[in-house]
Amino acid sequence: MSLNPNGTRRLDWTAWVAWGLGAASLLALIAYQYRLLNFMQYGDESETIVAAKMMVAGSNLYRDFFNHHGPLTFLPGMLVELLGGHTVAAHRIFIDFLQLIALASLFFSPLITGRHVVVRVTYVLVVATIYVAVLPAGFGHTYIYQVMSGLMLTIALSGWLLPLLDDVGAQGSTRTIIGSALIACLPFLAITYVPTSAALLIASLHRDNWRRVVFGASAAVVLNLIFLASTGSLRGYLAFHIYLNATVLPLFNEGQAAPLLQNAFFAATSDLGSLLQLVLVVGSLAFAAGLKKGFPWRHVLVGLAIGSLLLRGLAFHGLSYQYAALALPLLLVARLDDRSVAMRGMLLILSTVLLARLVTGGQDERAHIAKYRIPETTEFSRLAKALTQPGDRVLAYSFQNYEYIASDRLPASGYYFYFPWQQKYLEHPVLGIRIDPCEDINTVKPKVVMLHEWKVWDRFEWSSYGGCISSALARDYVRLPHTIYYVRSDIAAAEGLVGGSADTFGASAQVVKGDQIKVRDEVAANDRTVRSVGALMGTYGRRNEGIAALVATLPDGSTKVLSRMPLADMQDNAYAYFDVPAGTHDKLSIQFVEGGGVSFWEAGEAGDAKRACVVVEYSTGPTYRVPGCPVDFSRVGTALPSPR
């Protein structure tokens, strides 16, 4: 409200419009966050979620399983798992909630609570739009510690530290204790945040608040140590998170001081967007410092602390910097002249545009989100679920962490992902902390293993660090043809998955009327009842007209059609199955009685004729499959007794 010349109050329409836009924007923001819950699978995020699952299942962090990251990283994941959220989307809800808290902290920051609501709504709406429309391209919506640290910094900066720079005596006990505690928590996400935390805490100290700062920081440290002691191993923390990261990992990623400083410089100046962020950070602090007398050492320390977030480069490691940088303009907004109705009108127009952006999304954005939607199931997860029970454990190497989530199976080794520096650490383990994946495979003998032989950073071949794992798989496992999946030999034999790999594999010529596929001759002599027969077909991604029939050749040489299938019903690069009447022991073939245009896939060993990829399923016992042909994962598991 404002006053008319006669002393009566008049309605401030800009404030009412701003509140309306703010409320609508909050709903649009939450809807946007919902759309992002299943957008893009990210290995580091899945790694964190799997670790939380293992901790909830009773495994000790750093003792029973390896992880690079600090212990606080996994606390939210444990809480989500205990509450029954087991998907990636469920874990991202925590990040969404933390984003909303950060935005609320910006809106109610003591720096701008005196500004007109139009200014506050517009500023927060700009930040919110960047949160959901820009940062997700670099995984800014995922449950990883870099996002957590950036949002925690935003809350501490906006609610406590930046207002303190403006007026040292303005902060109460609650804000001081919470802000200092959040900053002291950062090193428990990653030890590399120690310089950031130290600089920010020193910048906050004043003769009137140092006791509260020390209390808040000390309480955070004690609580984090209690959490570590109760869910993990202190020795393991020192061995893996500090020793391995500080002494072993730099042998592979050139993480010495000089390259780290270069990382920060190039990250801050690499492109126009980075330069604008740098200008925003430095400009905001410089403007605020210019309003103070004497050397602005607090502002300098805050600037150095924010800059230290770039020591590991930009990409996803720079998310903490990007989130924190968006809080710095509070120093500018706090000095904005908000008395002009014309300016408020312009800000309302900007807010309306941003609201429209949140509602509609970007150009082709919804299609992009749909394209990169996290799959609910994967080929490996279907295989794992078919051949294992929920209590069984599997392995997915070298860095395929989402497969554990999709499979709903825990890892069979404490090294549930595997990199060269983990193998290097095993050469000289410290403090009695040692996890050996090769011993784990030999001891646990998981039924199913996925092995993606990743050449790390295009520099380190799998053979240079994963040789013992390959040897164990070669000895006790069967590799399914044309896949990177290994099944334990006894399980493979029981399921009929034994059959080696083919030297040649390809499609036949397109069939015409009268062509046929011969089914295994042994069917006629086998005492087991045939349940179905399938052939791996290729349709060239089109609809083909015609009829295929499963034909039995009777002892007198005559034939009998057992079942028919339209070619139009066949799926591309999938097995087409024909049901077989009970008691059939005659020779079988698949004949193309009408039309054509499809092909069947063939496999063969060197020097031998190729054979059509055919499977024969029996009512009991393992399935027969032509050696070297792909496995149909949708049919795996039917031959094994249950439970097992």
Tens digit of each residue's pLDDT (9 = 90 or more) over 130-147? 999 999 999 999 999 999
Dihedral sign for Cα atoms in the order 127, 266, 144, 299: negative
Identify the pLDDT of residue 291.
Answer: 79
Q: What is the mean pLDDT of the chain?
A: 90
Assign domain 505-625 to a CATH class. mainly beta
The three state secondary structure string of 248-303 is HCHHHHCCCHHHHHHHHHHHHHCCHHHHHHHHHHHHHHHHHHHCCCCCCHHHHHHH
In this predicted structure, the answer to whether residue 4 has a pLDDT above a threshold of 70 is no
Phi, psi of 574 (to 5 degrees): -140, 160
Domain extent listing, the chain: 20-195+204-247+341-368, 379-495, 505-625
Cβ-based neighbours of 64, under 8 Å, separated by 6 or more? 54, 414, 435
The string of pLDDT tens digits covering residues 290-317 is 877 888 999 999 999 999 898 776 677 8
Per-residue DSSP letters for 493-511?
HHHT------SEEEEPPPP
The string of pLDDT tens digits covering residues 149-159 is 999 999 999 99
Three-state DSSP class for residue 329:
coil
Report which of 555, 537, 562 is spatially closest to residue 615, judged by C-alpha positions. Answer: 537
Average pLDDT over residues 178-199: 96
Q: How confident is the model at residue 640 (pLDDT cuts 50, 70, 90)?
A: very low
Average pLDDT over residues 444-471: 94
Q: How confident is the model at residue 628 (pLDDT cuts 50, 70, 90)?
A: confident
Identify the pLDDT of residue 493.
Answer: 87
Mean pLDDT comparison of 284-298, 371-385, 607-621, highest-scoring range: 371-385
Identify the pLDDT of residue 586.
Answer: 83
The string of pLDDT tens digits covering residues 417-450 is 999 999 999 999 999 999 999 999 999 999 999 9
Average pLDDT over residues 8-37: 89
Identify the pLDDT of residue 169.
Answer: 56
Identify the pLDDT of residue 505.
Answer: 86
Average pLDDT over residues 453-471: 93
Average pLDDT over residues 245-255: 84
Which range among 193-207, 354-368, 518-532 shows the weakest confidence by mean pLDDT?
A: 518-532
Three-state DSSP class for residue 549:
strand
Identify the pLDDT of residue 311.
Answer: 76
Average pLDDT over residues 20-28: 97
Report which of 357, 329, 369, 310 is spatially closest to residue 150, judged by C-alpha positions. Answer: 310
Which range among 132-141, 220-229, 266-275, 594-603 shows the weakest confidence by mean pLDDT?
A: 266-275
Identify the pLDDT of residue 643.
Answer: 34
Average pLDDT over residues 375-380: 94
Average pLDDT over residues 271-293: 85
In this predicted structure, the answer to whether residue 3 has a pLDDT above a threshold of 50 is no
The string of pLDDT tens digits covering residues 489-529 is 999 888 888 766 677 888 999 999 999 998 866 565 566 78
Average pLDDT over residues 533-547: 95
Cβ-based neighbours of 246, under 8 Å, separated by 6 or more? 191
Identify the pLDDT of residue 186.
Answer: 98
| CB count in 10 Å sphere of residue 75 | 19
Q: How confident is the model at residue 7 (pLDDT cuts 50, 70, 90)?
A: very low
Average pLDDT over residues 16-29: 96
Q: CB-side exposure of 264: number of CA atoms within 13 Å?
A: 17
In this predicted structure, the answer to whether residue 168 has a pLDDT above a threshold of 70 is no
Tokens of 532: 């179905």
In this predicted structure, the answer to whether residue 411 has a pLDDT above a threshold of 70 is yes
Taking each continuous run of H as one helix and of E as one strand, the counts in the chain are 25, 18
Q: How confident is the model at residue 265 (pLDDT cuts 50, 70, 90)?
A: confident
